Amino acid sequence: MTINTIAQININNKRVLIRCDLNVPIENGIIQSDARILAALPTIELALQKNAKVIIMSHLGRPKEGLYTKKYSLFPIFEYFKKKFSNTKIYFSNNFLKDISLKAGEIAILENVRFNPGELNNSVILSKKYADLCDIFVMDAFASAHRKQSSTYGIGKFVKIACAGLLLIKEIDALKNALKNPKRPMVAIVGGSKVSTKFNVLHTLSKIADTIIVGGGIANTFLAIDHNIGKSLHEPNFIFEAKKLRDKYNIITPIDSRVGKKFCKTEKSTIKLTSNILKDEEIMDIGDQTIRKILNILKNAQTIIWNGPVGVFEFPYFRVGTEMIAKTIANSNAFSIAGGGDTLSVIDMFNIHNNISYISTGGGAFLEFIENNTLPVIKMLEKNFKNILYKKA
């Protein structure tokens, strides 16, 4: 991978447009978690130190494209930045597809890019408008690096210089180190609702990990190969593919499960062998036998990759498995790398941030990089680097 980084480029007095991932939870205008903002700060701070004119853009949530929606506005993030950079002039622009006037050392925060028609389908017209705003484009939103959208990918085709931010480089390096020469045994935990969205990454991980532990709806699809799983969430169309994976690789599925009859927070759990699930029961967590088996595997691991909970951890009676696994990873001496939105929520819930070796800000990007060892944005940055070399020659 040969790309430019913001640390290598002269950005003094240049208009530097940084694509961050500021997609944070906001309720009633109040930011609930600033983890992703904090992860973005080093690149922004470096740009200010290097006397750049700093322009920041990001998406937030899933608004209807082209339509302003107050709940998805980045204005609360602008308010956050005003407090964080109290000695810096900061502007908020909700009509930014025109030239932005800034002095060196100032910041402009742009409104949610998903309010702009054409963002999601990588509009050439919109990508060019973004490119016209800056002299240098800095891609630092790892969590969106798997998306070919105007603000992440399309803009890179029309700017003279496109480079990576500090967070993007940090994320890529951490994943490469974990995957290239992992200390063994290497254990991967893959949870979540759908095996279809993670089938390819399961296949890739099965080739490099010594053990794969599956949880959630993904595990249910594996259990459905041999068992009646009642009304549990699973994907019947992927049972055959799951069987092929299970028969070829070392994939750990639940021995017993916590089940309930209603999908609600107040539902009490009952532990049952996976061979004894009734038609009106739903698997929502792993059982105690399974927990003991998984914890023994994790205690011997030297590398752990963790993506997704193993149960409905939002419900108090069905979070035992996820909690025990999370705390065991946190107390392990293994190199641990965790990624994905729900995984980050689990880490928040049990306050184990300081005990995970590396926490990735990405979910889809995290998985796609594991699967392909690259991302669309990386390819774009590599191409821009080559174009610069060609022009210099």
Q: Is 194 a catalytic residue?
A: yes
Q: Which two tokens stand for residue 246?
A: 């299970």
Q: Is 246 a catalytic residue?
A: no
End-to-end CA distance of the chain: 20
On the CB side of 186, how many CA atoms lie within 13 Å of its CA? 15
Q: Which of 61, 105, 118, 364 is catalytic?
A: 364
CB atoms within 10 A of CB 248: 11
Distance CA 344, CA 358 (A): 11
Residue entry with tokens 């752990």? 304
Distance CA 60, CA 113 (A): 8
Q: Which of 36, 129, 147, 246 is catalytic?
A: 36
Q: Which of 82, 84, 194, 231 is catalytic?
A: 194
Q: Which of 61, 105, 230, 341 is catalytic?
A: 341
Classify residue 7 by its DSSP letter.
G
Distance CA 74, CA 109 (A): 8
Distance CA 282, CA 116 (A): 42
Q: Is 341 a catalytic residue?
A: yes
Give whole-number Cα distances, 6 to 118, 168, 319, 363, in Å: 27, 11, 42, 24
Bond preceding residue 236 cis, omega within 30 of 0: no
User: Which residues are designated catalytic?
Assistant: 36, 194, 341, 364
